[in-house]
Structure formats: C-alpha cells, structure tokens
Amino acid sequence: MASRLRHKLEEVERQLAQEEIEQLGWQPDVGSHREAHVEVTEYDGGNPRRKSFSQLIDEVDADLGVETGQTQVFFVNGEAGIGKTRAMVKAALNRAREVERHQGDRPLFLYVKSTGRVLDDLDAAVNHAVALTQNLTAERVKVLCGKGLIALLIDGFDELLGGAAYSDAIDSLQDWLNALGGRGVLVVSARSSYYMNQYRSSVQRASKAISASVRHSIAQVLRWTPAEIVSFLGDYGVPAARYERLAAGDRELLGLPFFARAFAEMCRSGDYEESDATGPSFTERLLNHYLAREERKLAYQTGSTHGLLNRDELRRTFEHVAEIMVDSREREIDSSDLEFAAAAALDIDDLDDREGLRERLQVLCGLATDSATRGPTRFRFQHEVFFDNFLAGIVGRHLRAGRSAALQRLLSRSEWRTGTVSGVVAAVDTELLIGALAGVRLPAVQSSSASRDTVATNLGALWAEIIRKTAQMPDWPIVDATFAGPLDLSHTKVGNASLINCRLESLTLPTGPGWKLQLDRTRVKKITAGAEQTDLSGLRGVRHGDLVELLFRPSRFFYRRPDILEALRTRGVGIVDAPGMSSAVVPVRVEAARHYLKNLVEYASSTLILKDNHQPDDHRLKWTQEYPDEWRPFVDRLTKAKLARPEKFSAKGSRKIKLRLQFGAANILDEDSDLPQIQDFWAAVKG
C-alpha cells in the first residue's frame, strides 16, 4: 500500500512541476526545499506556539498513537500561494517512502485533493485518492484511521463541496467523525476565512443530541521572513539588492513562496525589468506576464505579434471565467463556458464572428482532461493566485459600472481570499467602494444562512483592508460585517465611527484622545488596549457579556465577567448590558455557570475528557479552573438535569470519563429557554 501511495504522490509532484514548466514557462526548480512553518493554536486562538511542518506531523503521530477519546482535527490555514499543498504532499510522500523502506512503525498519510473539483462528499474524494491502491476504499480507510494506521490529509477542504453551496460545513465531515468514534486524526487545509466563518459557525450551531467527539487545533502557515526570501532568491542567482529595491507591499508579497518563485523566474528569464516606484506592482507584472504567454498561444501564426485575442480582451475573458467559476462553485469549467466567457469579453453573440477563435481557445492554459476521471476537457487556472486576481478584476468592473446586484451575488457565493480583497481595494476608488459596501445588506440575500455568513465575512475583509490601506476608520457606518481576523485600530485615525450588527473576533482600540467608536448590536470576543489608556469613554455600546477576554497590554488580562465589567466601567466605557449599580450581587455559582458555558461555546465540542474525579484531563481547558470550587458542582448539575451524560472509556493511564453534552452549549447558555431540562438546570444553579 505504501509503495502504491508513494507512486501516486510522486506523480502528483511531477504534475505540479510540469504545470509550472508548461503553463507558466518556468524552468525546473533549482531552489532547495524550505520547510513551511506554522503557528499552532487551540480552537479559540489560545496557547500559540511556532513549529515546523514536520513538528506538526510529529503531533499527528503522537495523537494517533494514544486513545484520547476525541478525534483530533488540525486545520491548516493560509493564503493562496503560501505552500499548503506542497507541504502536505511532501509530508505524505516522505511518510510513504519511510513505511515502504521499513524505516519505522509509523502511520501512513493519505493525501486527498479536493481543489478544482466539486464532489458529492468526502467519501468520493477519498475513493478517488485510493483508486490506484486497488485494495482500499473510503470505508476501509475509515477503519484504518480509527485504528491509528492512516491519517487523512485533505487539501482544499473549503472547495470540496463548492464553498458556500452547503448550509453546514460540519455535515461534510460528520459521517467520518461519527465513524471514527473519537479516534484518529484528520488534517484539513482551507483558507483562513473559511475556517473562521463557515466551519466555526457550523460547529457552534450544531445542537444534535449526540454528536461526534472532536477537538480542534489550528495551524496557520506563516509567510517567509525577509531572510528566508533572500536565501531562496540566492538559489536562483537573484541578488538581495533586487529584492530590497521592491516597494514595501511587493516585498511583503514575496513572503508567499509562489510569488517568490515567480519573481525569481522573471528575473532569471529577463522578463522583470526594474522601474521607478510609479511602475506597476509585482502582482500586476505577474498577471501581465501570464497574459502575454497566453496571448502568444492565440497568435495567428508562430512568431506573430497579433493574436485572436489581444491582452485586454484576454484579461476580460479570464475575468468572466473567474465569475463563472464562482457562480458554478467550481475551479474548473467546460470548454463551452470558456467560449461563453470569450464572447462576453468581446461583447458578441456568436464566437464565430471572430474567425478561428473557437478552435484556438482549446490551447489556453490548463485546458486538459483528468485521466483518472476520463471526463470532458476542462479549463482551470494553473494557480489559485490567478483566479483570485481575475475575480478582483471582474468585481472592480461591476463596481465601476454601478452593478450592485452583481456585487451582491459575488459577495454571497464564496469567501474571498486575500488576493481578491486586496486587489479590489487597490483597483477601485476608495469613496466608490465605501459607497457600494454601505449599500450591501444581509436581508437582501435571499439564500441560506451560509450565504449570509459569506457576505458578512467578505464585507469584514473588505472594510478591514480599506481601513489598513487608508489608515483611518470611515465615518460611514459599517453594517452587517464579520471581521474574521483581528481589527487593529491602534495606528488608525478614528473620528466618529460606528459598527452596526457586526461580529469581531478581536478589536484593538485606537490610541490617543478624541476618538469615538459606537457599537450597535455588535458582538466582540476580545478587546485590547494599552495599559496607559485610562480613558476609554469614546467606546460606547459594549456588551460585556460577549467578551471572553479583556487585555490591557502588556500583561493585564481579565476573563471573569464581573472583572471585565469593573475594568470597563472604571475606564468610562459605555456598557449596554451592565446590571444596575443597586442590583444584588450575582452568586458565584451563577457567574461560574455562565463562564463555563460561554467557554464551552468557544471550545466548540460536545464532549469533554475528564479524569475520574471529573477534573479536566486536557491542559487546554484551563478556563475550568477560573472558579476552582465550582467546576465539579457545575458538572453534577448538568448531569442531574440530563443535559450531559458521563461515559467511561478505555484509555492509557488513569481512568477517564467522557462527558457528552446532550444539547449544544449555546442552547444551555440561554437562561430563558423553553426546554424543561435547561429550565431545571438554571433553577438548580440559581436556587
């Protein structure tokens, strides 16, 4: 089996290299392999630690080797071009070679590629990946995963079922998680916005009576440092001075390995000419280089400078292709769709009006048949970077033409990656873009909750990039936006800003005096300010009950709700959910129950692994110790109210208990619930 998987993975590597040569014009790679590094955190972003990708794989081995009572899911997040695919293929290939050569008794890694195709479910993707082995099926892989003999590496999980096409992301993993029964490891790559938006909200919405036992860790792939970039470029004979003369934004972009390689190849081939600071960005140069190659493929004859499509027409064609891919929720399209895109770019009804174009379109990049599926010839971009930037191009055209319905549609189809977001903000007049975003409202999206979540996340990403680019917060209200990443206003000019019906993972407040930030129906999980900021009266409308953490840098943390409330009050923050000063003191057991449940929502698991004395066995559950004398009574009340069920299971070491919630933690947290079990629980807590 290892031998067959090794053969398959070597073919994947050869295919990646061949596509670079044939479709991008790159020469064979001469750079030495540079291992990806990741920052691993817990599900809620806590306990960050930097690791090499091989050290992450060591963690996978460790989790496969013991009975923990919970399936471990590693989310490998990162931008397009940061090297997620290469890292996963390399890890799987190295392990297959080790096992084949009997160099240790370690599990195999099954690499499953879902990028570029829409499949019915994860089983279909796994069956496609194991077809070459002749003796494996998805069902057999589940058994081997549960026994710790195989770990699944799923590349491009966010594209497995077409992005936002399904209402609950967790559903596509649910069968596997149930089959594994609290054992095994899944390593899943996806863009960061997908994890923060669809997957997290899907997990937290899940409220089935009995759901899978899962714990999550997040591995964010890190960009290369300047030293790593210079070292890599040195392999290609590109002097450090050429890198250092790039604009700051371009130097930052080369932290993504794909862009560093593209820069090295363009320098090596003489296609990159240095110019003054007013020249096009490196991204634009890369797109122009890509378009020039494709333009030559459509030349009337070899060596001709005139083609069936000029560069601008080809750019518009690819922009329409990106739009079709978004609407169809695939990263491949049929040749008929490619012809339609070309006709739309030329504004003609019949492609035959331009003689010979229909036939010559077949030679464009990525037009190929997947031999494994024996399907029709399909077009795909060689790299997601090109898709991201051509999507930004069509969005810009819609914005400048005032086509608000088209903007709304594209916002709702899939989460935009960094390249699309930054491309739109860079190419469109800021005032025009702000006006367009201000007109977007979630109720206008007549679709699923997943689509509305997608619009909100894209709005948050666009607003965050506008704020970063302009270094100021717009006075125009920001409405219905979800900020998946940190919103750092510490170096931002803030006048009279407002956030209405927004969600923020993390908010860093502005420094200095005179700023005003109004929160209206807006949830914030973490707020950060400087220790010297004693006057925060410009911050109004805060719901302190939503806060999981309040930090005054560098080291003052508040986690408990009363402590958060007091810290905000003493600094003049406007709080909308504060109890009256004359209200009776909330009993500790009530405050503790709210604290535990709020953290269980963030922990996003329906099961906890506890020691025989009901104390947590997992160091990541340190929040259970905030009220050390209340945890055991809290567990007892949950169990007595039939909101949780303790189950014993076999594991190495001391005896352990699996505490399985019978309802979602968010449901239990609702003190006004109509469910009798939840009413009984809160009556016991408050009694």
N residues, the chain: 687
pLDDT at 374: 46
CA distances from 444 to 339, 411, 440, 441, 453 (A): 32, 12, 8, 6, 13
Helices (H) and strands (E) in the chain, counts: 26, 24
The Cβ of residue 350 has, within 10 Å, a number of other Cβ atoms equal to 8
The pLDDT mean for the chain works out to: 85
Q: What is the pLDDT of residues 216-245, one digit of tens each?
A: 888 999 999 999 999 999 999 999 999 998
Question: What residues are paired with 610 via a beta bridge?
Answer: 616, 657
The Cα 35–Cα 52 span in angstroms is: 7
Query: Up-side HSE of residue 217: CA atoms within 13 Å toward CB?
Result: 23
pLDDT at 130: 87
Helix H, strand E, coil C: the string for 353-411 is HCCCHHHHHHHCCCCECCCCCCCCCEECCCCHHHHHHHHHHHHHHHHHCCCHHHHHHHH
The torsion angles phi and psi of 303, rounded to 5 degrees, stand at: 85, -5
pLDDT at 167: 43
The DSSP-derived string for 25-86 is -PPPP-SPP---EEEEEETTS-S-EEEEHHHHHHHHHHHHTS--SSEEEEEEE--TTSSHHH
pLDDT at 344: 93
Q: Do β-strands 523-530 and 549-553 pair in parallel, antiparallel, or remain unpaired?
A: parallel
Angle between helices 676-686 and 588-603 (to 10 degrees): 140
pLDDT at 554: 85
The Cα 37–Cα 220 span in angstroms is: 8
Buried-exposed string 211-225: b where 16+ CB fall within 10 A, e elsewhere: bbbbbbbbbbbbbbe
Q: Which of helix, strand or coil describes residue 186?
A: strand
Question: What residues are paired with 50 via a beta bridge?
Answer: 39
Q: What share of the chain is helix, strand, coil (3-state, %, to 5)?
A: 45, 15, 35
| 8 Å CB contact between 34 and 232 | yes
pLDDT at 275: 62
The Cβ of residue 431 has, within 10 Å, a number of other Cβ atoms equal to 10
Question: What residues are paired with 216 via a beta bridge?
Answer: 73
CA distances from 85 to 7, 13, 115, 589 (A): 17, 10, 10, 48
Which stretches in the chain have pLDDT values below 50?
116, 118, 163-167, 207-210, 368-374, 445, 582
The Cα 77–Cα 522 span in angstroms is: 26
Q: What is the pLDDT of residues 505-521, one digit of tens each?
A: 899 999 988 999 999 99
pLDDT at 157: 78
